[in-house]
């Protein structure tokens, strides 16, 4: 049988050599499905082999929001998710991806089976690769990111805004009876830029008022592109800023927030485009 509908997304730049690469989570539905060859085209006509997947990726969707440090997921096939050590999670060896409105990379330690292909993941290491730690909703895509995820290979930054195409030719458990390239479904994906080329804000001011604190973020170039949002992070110490917590995001360059508790507080701003993040200002 052919593959199930794949889930395609862009890799964080730290995992690429050019700053741009596309991942595809793909698996088969049949019991005799053994894997597939991965084919990539830049024009939808000429295809090049980009590797071979054996056994299929583990992907599906969230069955609820993250609550109490637990992440409930349902895989598309009856694959298994294994527990990991705290050291492996900290090293992102159990890396996962949550899609949706605010994508996040994270890792886990615990993996409790709750049904056929259903798990509750715990011991989460959240916000990997600088992605925001935010709420997620039921139905958001979930992918276990490992060697079973297909990769386009490194792409030039000039491909941003253009469409690439995937095909997957399946074979059986014995590596035989592979589908013909001309007979399988073509899956297009338009590149939005991943983590490439997103400029940091160039200014940040905070003015205390009777109603709270008035913040103003100055975006690079003086204005925001339609698909870019700004984010503000808050921390009670100047270092490390990586421990700062997201307190606001939006497309407004000026906004009012409630005052935090007594003491000295520190703020950082950055720009985001899906899973793409600029440096902090």
pLDDT-derived band at 103 (thresholds 50, 70, 90) equals confident
Q: What is the pLDDT of residue 197?
A: 58
Res. 195: pLDDT tops 60 = no
**What does pTM read for this prediction?**
0.73
Mean pLDDT calculated for residue range 74-88: 92
Record the tokens describing residue 9, joined without a space.
């997304």
Res. 24: pLDDT tops 80 = yes
Q: What share of the chain is helix, strand, coil (3-state, %, to 5)?
A: 5, 45, 50
pLDDT-derived band at 59 (thresholds 50, 70, 90) equals very high
Spell 152-189 as b/e; 16+ CB within 10 A means b: beebeeebbeeebbbbbbbbeeeeeeebeeeebeebeb
């Amino acid at each position: 049988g052919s593959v199930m509908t794949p889930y395609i997304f862009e890799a964080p730049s730290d995992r690429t050599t050019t700053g741009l690469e596309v991942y595809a989570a793909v698996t088969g539905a049949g019991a005799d499905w053994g894997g597939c060859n991965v084919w990539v085209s830049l024009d939808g006509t000429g295809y090049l082999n980009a590797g071979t997947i054996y056994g299929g990726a583990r992907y599906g969707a969230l069955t609820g929001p993250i609550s109490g440090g637990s992440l409930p997921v349902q895989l598309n096939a009856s694959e298994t998710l294994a527990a990991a050590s705290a050291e492996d999670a900290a090293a992102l060896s159990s890396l996962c991806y949550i899609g949706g409105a605010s994508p996040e990379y994270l890792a886990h330690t615990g993996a409790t089976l709750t049904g056929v292909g259903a798990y509750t993941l715990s011991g989460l290491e959240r916000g990997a690769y600088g992605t925001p730690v935010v709420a997620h909703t039921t139905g958001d895509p979930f992918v276990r990111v490992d060697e079973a995820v297909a990769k386009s290979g490194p792409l030039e930054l000039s491909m941003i805004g253009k469409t690439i195409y995937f095909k997957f030719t399946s074979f059986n458990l014995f590596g035989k009876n592979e589908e013909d390239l001309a007979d399988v479904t073509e899956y297009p994906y338009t590149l939005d830029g991943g983590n490439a080329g997103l400029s940091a804000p160039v200014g940040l001011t905070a003015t205390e008022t009777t109603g709270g604190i008035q913040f103003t973020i100055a975006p690079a170039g003086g204005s925001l592109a339609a698909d870019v949002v700004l984010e503000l992070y808050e921390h009670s110490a100047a270092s490390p800023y990586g421990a700062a917590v997201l307190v606001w995001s939006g497309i407004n360059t000026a906004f009012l927030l409630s005052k935090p508790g007594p003491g000295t507080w520190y703020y950082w701003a950055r720009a985001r485009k899906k899973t793409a993040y600029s440096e902090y200002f």
